[in-house]
């Protein structure tokens, strides 16, 4: 199950690189989310749970949970899903709810990560796949990828290189989960067996 809010480029990477895994459905919280069309064109069930139709976050999340439960997925993947999820929802899917964030967590949680990285003068930046907890942009880290920050970088150029790495590591994390290879011990994620490293460094 994949949740999206927009074009769903990470969703597309997962669909294309995680075969033969079956995507139970794609759910968008905005009817205009372009990723819904991508899913439908590939025969993946796609539906909308429009957050603007509900009077509160709690009622929206109840409807979202109901839509998820109808499909009974093994894993719920947030792929550009731009809604903060409440504690009750997160606890319901604890241990099977993944997110990707465009920074090397715990650095730069929240929004505008590329701008903040440039303003801070960091020399490396990147992205993180993590299990979702009630604390926003926290939770056990599954895999990270780093890119160098280059002289003359803008938010757009840095963001584009980070996004390429997101498309690389998110499908890996999903495959590891579905293969039963992820174990969390006291907040640390280990991957069982021989596999790609949990930290990747992209060339300039």
Q: Write out the catalytic residue numbers.
A: 101
Q: Which residues pair with 125 in a beta bridge?
A: 147
What is residue 51's DSSP assignment? G
Three-state SS at 132: coil
| Token code pair at residue 81 | 């899903």
Residue with tokens 């926003």: 136
Per-residue CA distances from 155 to 84, 110, 126, 189 (Å): 23, 15, 13, 30
Q: How far apart are CA 172 and CA 118, in angstroms?
A: 28
Q: Which residues pair with 124 in a beta bridge?
A: 148
DSSP H helices, the chain, are 9-17, 34-41, 57-71, 87-92, 113-120, 155-178
Q: Are strands 2-4 and 46-48 parallel, antiparallel or unpaired?
A: unpaired
């Amino acid at each position: 199950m994949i949740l999206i809010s927009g074009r769903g480029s990470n969703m597309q990477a997962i669909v294309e690189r995680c075969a033969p895994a079956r995507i139970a459905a794609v759910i968008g919280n905005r009817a205009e989310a372009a990723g819904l069309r991508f899913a439908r064109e590939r025969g993946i069930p796609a539906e909308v749970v429009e957050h603007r139709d509900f009077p509160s976050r709690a009622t929206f999340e109840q409807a979202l949970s109901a839509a998820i439960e109808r499909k009974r997925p093994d894993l719920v993947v947030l792929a550009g899903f731009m809604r903060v999820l409440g504690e009750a929802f997160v606890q319901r899917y604890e241990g099977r709810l993944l997110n990707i964030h465009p920074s090397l967590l715990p650095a730069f949680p929240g929004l505008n990560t590329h701008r903040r990285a440039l303003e801070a003068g960091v020399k490396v930046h990147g992205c993180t796949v993590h299990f979702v907890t009630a604390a926003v942009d926290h939770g056990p880290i599954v895999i990270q990828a780093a890119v160098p920050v280059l002289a003359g970088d803008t938010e757009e150029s840095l963001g584009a290189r980070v996004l390429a790495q997101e498309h690389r590591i998110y499908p890996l994390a999903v495959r590891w989960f579905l293969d039963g290879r992820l174990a969390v011990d006291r907040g640390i994620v280990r991957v069982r067996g021989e596999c790609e490293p949990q930290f990747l460094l992209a060339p300039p």
